[in-house]
Structure 1
């Protein structure tokens, strides 16, 4: 039976995916209870969790009256510090929950403009809670029965949801993306270069830069325009109306009811205003004398962090959206790749001899944590050597004399500056700048004499990011700049001056700071933005400059010095609420009160053999340590006879270094194919009892991942109501089913190092292997003996001459045997007919073992082998939506393929192989703003006996 419950169960599990992840069993968990929140956290981050609790109550005091909504219950907040990623999330499905990660944004991040990064993050996520939790109309009554599943505002497009929260994060703090120079640079450049997205184009996940950030960028700036025009109450009215409608997607109608204007008409006006502002900025810059930039790289993505490599010219980091992130080198006008660095942020430095490169890269620790560590790449051997172990280190710099290594180290939300001897990294460290009150440190660089380090530093008490300097031998750090601008990327130009980038005019430019007088000179004047300065040995000024396709490496040949601006146009000071923490309490985390049922998913439908109805009851605790579900269904035959039932329970636990789950099932159903007598199949009632336990053992890595799975299942099968049939003369003596144990042990092994990039049309590089083995044997108490084994291998080879073209090789095989009765069969052939519309709605993709160019189930047997070779290529990056319609086309791509295989009994060498050739065109689509998949139109021709002209249209399938 196929029904809506399939989608709903998947949604339940998608909102608690962390429940299926392993954990560090040494961690303890606690809860801070405040008037409006439960803040859950693990040991070691108590101070961070307390700050989150205080800021969450701030957010409630500000946004609950502002958005005119009060949640019915406390919101759960999970404070996590297991990843070196600046991020957060929020959901109102089942219960209101926020996830807050304890890693601050990098200084050059789009999130880097803030007076307090944690406040911006918490405010953003709590706006999501209040927005999505705004529910009216019939939904509260529906949710009373089925749990909190009907949340109409959650059906709004992503640009609306993220834009609304990003707007408010900016307007209610002294920072945020809307107020930042990076956001303005991205929008201004797109306007000047003619790449602004229309309303339909931002409804999906565009392939063009800035990709996934488009929803945040365009959504927040659009709301800034709309609220300036109609007032912020426009948003509240919209959320109340839209949140009361069961039928989604009435965006224009809702907007017109409030303002008399559709969202589409306002988007066009917003675009015109953005273009006019961009043109005005360009005219102003050109009137002042615009700096000319000579581009070195010209590919979409991120290119930058230029470093001098003694004796070899310039190296830099690149991530061009079509290949793995890597470090490359420019020498004699030619760019060559040095080594790939998946999981690396980009910064690094060369040793003085130019032979070794020190960089930071994410590293998996205890299979649970993903932290950055320092590594050294040796050019002589082209190998990488690890320098630190679990230090959460980033932004390394090597002293010019080759003795010292300095880097920033994260300590649960605050940072310190650490010095070590380069050749004795494992020995004692020296902390140059201790982990002061929630400070952030970035971009340390040594002076030419190796006696001091300059760096960028954000301080909580000032809310500013300024330049500082500290001696290597002894002494306190000294502040060099003091303003609300973002002062970044310091690097010594000479012993008495440093270059740095700053947005003190509202546009990122390059400046020079005199270390004696502290006077600032402006060296560039650009329209878009330049950063990350570097003087090479010939005196050229290298920069990273922004275009509408991302960040490129460039050179400014003519530098004209001008006095630096003396005053930065600061944002108004904001007075945040004072929070009384006297009522806050801290207790051990107790999941039991939160394990009551959260959702009920009814299930009903008609099937070819009768009818069925039932449901699923599910719950999980807020941290995700425990997940459970109970399901039941009653079935009938065509005429309400042959009644049966199916009851099941499942539980998973994630406090172990392995995944663990257990399931139990009891089923009674009419077996219509298990008893052949009197020249026909006789229906009888079969009953089974199943208890299954399984564990997953992951071995996580940055480059590759291995997972082992073990399962043991006890199953007892019995029968009731066997028909008393008198065999016809000449009939084969019927085989009478008997009650028996059908216990089963399973093993799975899966490995992958497959890579896929932002603009890929397919998995593009690497390989994967899989093996699944299932055994029934008396050794485990089974009355039957059987073995089933399946295996697969997939390899992806990028075309070295044509980007984004891929040769994919996919092999699968299987064998099933039984010493206790009938043996199972594999079938190969063309895809079964599919109702494409229904499959799109219920997200039921086509799949299985398909040998195209033949009728379905053309060959069958207890063994099968199938090999497919396909050449995949892009046809058109569409990035095309249709206003507010919930339809989006992302990519149009193609494939030519050849299949060969067979299903058989006996030996493969004695079999005839069935082969076919064909082609497919694939439209990568998103429906209802979030339901993504592939529409596939294909033709295949079978080259062997029984081959047909096979024209098919399907939804889904791997590509």
Structure 2
């Protein structure tokens, strides 16, 4: 791949007999070392880019993997289990000799030399798991191997290599990189939801291209009774700087007891929200923390899918459109066996401006701030105490629906909701509490239950771990004034299954139950992905 022109030139193509992986250019840019699978063997080979020939530097039943060049191009380091245990080996390019560099009990993997060639970093497996190790390099202390040192002429002769014949360049003309061959969906997950007429059924999928420049996620639902399609599509482009993020959705949301008549009767209201948004995201990535600033435009059309009886209030319909700016900070970490974020915090501040000059039927200013804290409990690995404090304020036109709504997610709403304009107060009906101001606090105890780390044969499904959560939420939404005793509290628990789909897509499924402690509280269940925050 030419990084300047984005032209792709195919140097060699794999077949059923020969498959290539883990290529590494030599420091002088003339050769490529790679791992090659051929005739049932996994070996290391050298590819000469000038004459298009490939020769083996190892050949045998041992698994030889992850080659890496020394900075001077004199040595090739790789992992092999030719001793019965994975260790690091070094191949001398000038002498065609093979040496054993490490002699560990658990396994040594993925060698990588320092820029000065004096030290070697590698992954070491012990009884405590995988860790990063660094060792000094001294060829005088290495052990020359018996089986492959020196390599016989038949193994190094290009005529007897895996594919030593010159490759016709006309078959491998340079071409521009295209993401389409690899961006197709690799998994489909069934999902259920609800609309004004009852049950929805559908699927969740997503994908990304080989270079990770294009990513997308799609949730699509079809109402069995309403016969209407609902969807949420998210696309992210990292091909350029800054990142471009696009959203497109058409969803219906429940506002519990929103409509009221003159005698105090209340009925539910279903609102259809058709939304399109575009954001430019500027990330700042550091080792211990990250920040991002996003600037965007959003256009949302509000319409009713509820037949409103006479005498009841009629919610506003029309267009909400405007600009928004969001700043986020995170120092939270996730480790190999983590069940979520730990050892850090997240901060979030956002401002939205909707006005008629920007195509909106209403003028609204909305401010939101959030603090999220993640503490690892002492003496308990990956047991997390997580806290959340979120507040919001809106000015301008006041809609019957209000700027903020609090309540439980409706079935799988937390999966399909396009962004964080809905704030979930678990244990209460969906969007039960509404206002121009909002405050929400949560405390969660998250604990691991069992590490499964197992799949089903060769199916594209891998189960990682099961973990649980006990939580308490308290919050309220109001217009002018509120009191502490007006805040609503809900408690509950969640069980979560972390798994991988299609071999690479992380899919943490969460099933929860919540109960509201105040008069309006209900016992509710819901389905979601990931942790609540």
TM-score by length of 2: 0.61
- Return closer, same or farther for 1:176/1:873 CA change in 2, 3 Å cut-off: farther
Partners of 2:230 and 2:428 lie apart in 1 by 34
Q: Map of 1:267-346 to 2, 5 A cutoff?
A: none
Choose the corresponding residue for 1:179, options 54, 62, 65.
62
SS at match of 2:170: coil
Compute the displacement of 1:595 (Å): 9.4
Compute the displacement of 1:699 (Å): 1.4
- Return closer, same or farther for 1:880/1:814 CA change in 2, 3 Å cut-off: same
Compute the displacement of 1:784 (Å): 1.3
Choose the corresponding residue for 2:176, options 589, 592, 613.
589
Partners of 2:456 and 2:235 lie apart in 1 by 43
Match of 2:85 in 1: none
Task: State whether structure 2 residue 17 is matched by structure 1 residue 62.
Answer: yes
Compute the displacement of 1:708 (Å): 1.5
In the alignment of these two chains, the number of paired residues is: 468
Deviations 1:169-198 (A, max 9, x none): 349965599715999xxxxxxxxxxxxxxx
Alignment RMSD (CA, Å): 6.5
Match of 1:860 in 2: 433
Match of 2:478 in 1: 904
Partners of 1:564 and 1:616 lie apart in 2 by 53
Indicate the structure with greater helix content: 1
Partners of 1:808 and 1:182 lie apart in 2 by 41
Deviations 1:89-130 (A, max 9, x none): xxxxxxxxxxx67589xxxxxxxxxxx98431xx46xx9xxx
Task: State whether structure 2 residue 247 is matched by structure 1 residue 657.
Answer: no
Compute the displacement of 1:613 (Å): 11
Partners of 1:916 and 1:717 lie apart in 2 by 30
Deviations 1:433-457 (A, max 9, x none): 4x57xx5589xxxxxxxxxxxxxxx
Match of 1:924 in 2: 497
Whether the aligned pair in 1 keeps the contact of 2:278 and 2:298 (CA below 8 Å) is: yes
Match of 1:783 in 2: 361
Partners of 2:201 and 2:409 lie apart in 1 by 29
Partners of 1:689 and 1:550 lie apart in 2 by 48
- Return closer, same or farther for 1:916/1:176 CA change in 2, 3 Å cut-off: farther
Compute the displacement of 1:658 (Å): 0.8
Choose the corresponding residue for 1:169, options 23, 37, 42.
42
Unaligned runs of 5+ in 1: 1-23, 33-38, 40-52, 65-76, 78-87, 89-99, 105-115, 128-164, 184-409, 417-432, 443-463, 469-478, 489-500, 502-507, 510-526, 533-543, 555-562
Whether the aligned pair in 1 keeps the contact of 2:334 and 2:340 (CA below 8 Å) is: yes
Compute the displacement of 1:914 (Å): 3.0
Match of 2:34 in 1: 119
Partners of 2:206 and 2:526 lie apart in 1 by 36
Q: Map of 1:83-482 to 2, 5 A cutoff?
A: 102=24, 118-120=33-35, 123=36, 168-170=41-43, 175=58, 179-180=62-63, 416=71, 433=72, 440=76, 465=90
Choose the corresponding residue for 2:147, options 569, 583, 594.
569
Compute the displacement of 1:754 (Å): 1.0
Whether the aligned pair in 2 keeps the contact of 1:816 and 1:823 (CA below 8 Å) is: no
Deviations 1:210-239 (A, max 9, x none): xxxxxxxxxxxxxxxxxxxxxxxxxxxxxx
SS at match of 2:15: helix
Q: Map of 1:694-705 to 2, 5 A cutoff?
A: 694-705=279-290
Partners of 2:207 and 2:234 lie apart in 1 by 11
Indicate the structure with greater strand content: 2
- Return closer, same or farther for 1:485/1:645 CA change in 2, 3 Å cut-off: closer
Deviations 1:598-618 (A, max 9, x none): 7899x9999653899999999
Partners of 1:465 and 1:815 lie apart in 2 by 63
SS at match of 2:370: strand
Match of 1:29 in 2: 6
SS at match of 1:583: helix
Task: State whether structure 2 residue 399 is matched by structure 1 residue 804.
Answer: no
Compute the displacement of 1:860 (Å): 0.3
Partners of 1:768 and 1:178 lie apart in 2 by 50
Choose the corresponding residue for 1:483, options 97, 105, 108.
97
- Return closer, same or farther for 1:876/1:861 CA change in 2, 3 Å cut-off: same
- Return closer, same or farther for 1:748/1:118 CA change in 2, 3 Å cut-off: farther
Partners of 2:191 and 2:525 lie apart in 1 by 30
Structure number with greater Rg is 1
Partners of 1:675 and 1:899 lie apart in 2 by 26
Compute the displacement of 1:664 (Å): 7.6
Compute the displacement of 1:825 (Å): 5.7
Unaligned runs of 5+ in 2: 46-55, 79-88, 112-122, 134-140
- Return closer, same or farther for 1:705/1:618 CA change in 2, 3 Å cut-off: closer
Deviations 1:634-693 (A, max 9, x none): 98975x8xxx8899999865442112256789999xxxx999999999xxxx99997643
SS at match of 2:17: helix
Whether the aligned pair in 2 keeps the contact of 1:859 and 1:902 (CA below 8 Å) is: no
Match of 2:342 in 1: 764
Partners of 1:632 and 1:550 lie apart in 2 by 40
SS at match of 1:706: strand
Compute the displacement of 1:30 (Å): 1.1
Compute the displacement of 1:776 (Å): 0.9
Whether the aligned pair in 2 keeps the contact of 1:851 and 1:900 (CA below 8 Å) is: yes
SS at match of 2:34: helix
Deviations 1:450-485 (A, max 9, x none): xxxxxxxxxxxxxx82579xxxxxxxxxx8x97323
Whether the aligned pair in 2 keeps the contact of 1:674 and 1:737 (CA below 8 Å) is: no
Compute the displacement of 1:767 (Å): 0.8
Deviations 1:738-786 (A, max 9, x none): 8x65422122222212112222343221111123332211343433111
- Return closer, same or farther for 1:596/1:856 CA change in 2, 3 Å cut-off: closer
Compute the displacement of 1:791 (Å): 3.2
Compute the displacement of 1:894 (Å): 4.7
